């Protein structure tokens, strides 16, 4: 029996000042702003930008092409998606078929939410377990599957 073991790693990351990382985590070729917190078992992929004073809780996955603003909170187990399977199957390693996500400033995303490729404006709360499938252009509280504005 043969196998390949790949260790979690932190490589080629641009860190701001006073960043806290709780390992194990997998961060590579991304940017983490000042005074950020990254919890354990988090993966942040190539090209992601995390703004100042943002907290990312444990077990969250932030894929390539995601930008997160300042003063944000990403709850436990939040998943960002950049591949919408538009051709009925995964795009795989073809980044030309991936789409970007932009999260504004002062956005809180509850635990186990799923964020598809969208733009989320400033001052938004996404409820736990929500599935965000469309752009959010008005501040407020959003929840459900698909996520809708509650207030």
| Model confidence, pTM | 0.94
CA dist 15 and 38 (Å) reads: 11
Domain boundaries in the chain?
10-149
**CA terminus-to-terminus distance, the chain:** 56
Q: Is 35 a catalytic residue?
A: no
Of the two residues 38 and 86, the one the predictor is more confident about is 38
Percent of the chain predicted with pLDDT > 90: 84
Among 18, 59, 76, 106, which one carries the catalytic annotation? 59
The residue behind tokens 């956005």 is: 107
Mean confidence (pLDDT) of the chain:
95
Beta strands in 40-130 (DSSP E): 43-44, 49-50, 55-56, 61-62, 66-68, 73-74, 79-80, 101-103, 107-109, 114-115, 119-120, 124-126
pLDDT value of position 94: 81
Domain 10-149 fold is UDP N-Acetylglucosamine Acyltransferase; domain 1 (2.160.10)
């Amino acid at each position: 029996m043969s196998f390949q073991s790949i260790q979690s790693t932190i490589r080629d990351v641009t860190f701001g000042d006073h960043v806290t990382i709780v390992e194990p985590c997998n961060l590579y070729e991304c940017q983490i702003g000042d005074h950020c917190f990254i919890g354990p078992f988090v993966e942040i992929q190539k090209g992601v930008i995390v703004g100042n004073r943002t907290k990312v809780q444990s077990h969250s996955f932030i894929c390539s092409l995601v930008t997160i603003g300042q003063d944000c909170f990403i709850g436990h187990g939040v998943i960002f998606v950049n591949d919408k399977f538009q051709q009925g199957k995964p795009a795989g390693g073809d980044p030309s078929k991936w789409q970007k996500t932009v999260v504004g400033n002062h956005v809180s995303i509850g635990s186990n939410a799923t964020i598809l490729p969208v733009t989320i404006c400033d001052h938004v709360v996404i409820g736990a377990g929500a599935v965000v499938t469309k752009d959010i252009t008005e501040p407020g509280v959003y929840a459900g599957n698909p996520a809708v504005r509650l207030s």
